[in-house]
Amino acid sequence: MTTHPPFGPDFRWPDFNWPEFLPGWVWLVGAGPGDPGLLTLHAVNALRHAETIIHDGLVAPAILDWANPEAERIAMAKRGGQVSPTQAEISALLVERARAGRRVLRLKGGDPFVFGRGGEEGQVLARAGIPFRLVPGITAGIGGLGYAGIPVTHGRVNAAVTFVTGHDINGHAPPLDWAAIARASPVIVLYMGMRTLGEIADKLIAAGRGPEEPVALVQNASTPEQKVLETSLARAAAEAEAAGFGAPVITCIGRTALLRQALDWQGQAAGDALRNPDPLT
């Protein structure tokens, strides 16, 4: 079978015991937060061999450009507030294509097992007797924030971080013990939380978090379209709306958001001045 490495005709694929992508298998693969360079080698290998690629709306077109050009491509974008394929429909399609003997790549932004429904899809495949493989990806809550110069942990700030989805299956803020999260987690990373950001901020403030607590929002993380908003917990929702922020956005709540003042490596590489070498003091 012809394969298609993305590195040019003279590139020599490294010698390694690469797993064989067999017909009838489904690979659940994380594509990372957006920058194609953050793909794992296993992900690139899957793209080279896949015969059917079922991808979500967060996978950058440049990543799909690296795929086998003969592969069937099926977009399964799920957008809040819009008519979208159901999870059951996506899972059924994975089973149908695998049973037809195809090499099926389920390509997801970030990591399949971090708010990516990869666990649910894996369960469907297991029940159907479909063999599958997981290829983890860099989740936006770590890599996306890192591209904005925001670490999720820092020795002077936190020994714990909580990753939270911004909405439940009905589109509302999830029914979590927000008071417990507010007390226990110095840093909170919020996925898919634009529509519920104000509600979640109110819950955290009511539980004792300060209205002026630092918050950073990163839109289109790790892509050329990346935008960052530095704000506070009380003002975050209003300022994000005024700035025109929309999905996909990853949000960091906590003092590590301040470290962008020192660690904005992309801005500094472009000539921006170092704002503050120690914003935690």
Is 56:84 a contact under the CB 8 Å cutoff?
no
Average pLDDT over residues 109-129: 97
pLDDT in tens, 184-229: 999 999 999 999 999 999 999 999 999 999 999 999 999 999 999 9
- How confident is the model at residue 7, as a pLDDT? 65
Report the relative pairing of strands 52-55 and 187-191 from DSSP bridges: unpaired
Quickly state the pLDDT bin for 85 (edges 50, 70, 90). confident
- How confident is the model at residue 1, as a pLDDT? 39
Is 39:63 a contact under the CB 8 Å cutoff?
yes
Question: Whose CA is closest to 109, among 24, 29, 213, 190?
Answer: 29
- How confident is the model at residue 94, as a pLDDT? 98
CATH no., domain 141-269: 3.30.950.10
Mean pLDDT of all residues in the chain? 93
- How confident is the model at residue 40, as a pLDDT? 96
pLDDT at 103 over 70: yes
- How confident is the model at residue 158, as a pLDDT? 97
Return the CATH superfamily for domain 26-138.
Tetrapyrrole methylase, N-terminal domain (3.40.1010.10)
State the Cα angle at 266 between 265 and 270, rounded to 5°.
115
pLDDT at 115 over 50: yes
Taking CA atoms, 140 is separated from 79, 109, 191, 279, in Å, by 17, 8, 8, 23
pLDDT at 83 over 80: no
Quickly state the pLDDT bin for 58 (edges 50, 70, 90). confident
- Locate 279 and state its tokens: 């914003």
pLDDT at 77 over 90: no
Alpha helices in the chain (DSSP H): 41-49, 61-64, 87-99, 118-128, 145-147, 178-184, 197-206, 236-242, 260-263, 265-269
CA dihedral 138, 141, 145, 146 (to 10 degrees): -40
Is 250:190 a contact under the CB 8 Å cutoff?
yes
- Locate 74 and state its tokens: 């099926």
Long-range contacts: 79-87, Cβ < 8 Å, 24+? 79/247, 80/167, 80/171, 80/192, 80/195, 80/247, 81/171, 81/195, 87/117, 87/120, 87/121
| pTM for this entry | 0.92
- How confident is the model at residue 2, as a pLDDT? 44
pLDDT at 81 over 60: no
pLDDT in tens, 229-266: 999 999 999 999 999 999 999 999 999 999 999 999 99
pLDDT at 96 over 50: yes
Q: Is the link from the previous residue into 248 a cis peptide, with omega within 30 of 0?
A: yes
Q: Is 149 left (phi over 0), alpha (psi -120 to 50) or beta?
A: left
- How confident is the model at residue 13, as a pLDDT? 78
Question: Whose CA is closest to 150, among 252, 232, 7?
Answer: 252
**Collapsing DSSP states into helix, strand and coil, what is residue 205?**
helix
User: What residue ranges do the domains of the chain occupy?
Assistant: 26-138, 141-269
pLDDT at 57 over 60: yes
How far from each other are the two terminal CA atoms of the chain, in whole angstroms? Answer: 59
- Locate 138 and state its tokens: 């860099």
pLDDT at 3 over 50: no
Question: Whose CA is closest to 73, among 89, 97, 92?
Answer: 97
- Would you please indicate which residues are annotated as catalytic (active-site) residues? 56, 78, 192
pLDDT at 6 over 70: no
Is 14:40 a contact under the CB 8 Å cutoff?
no
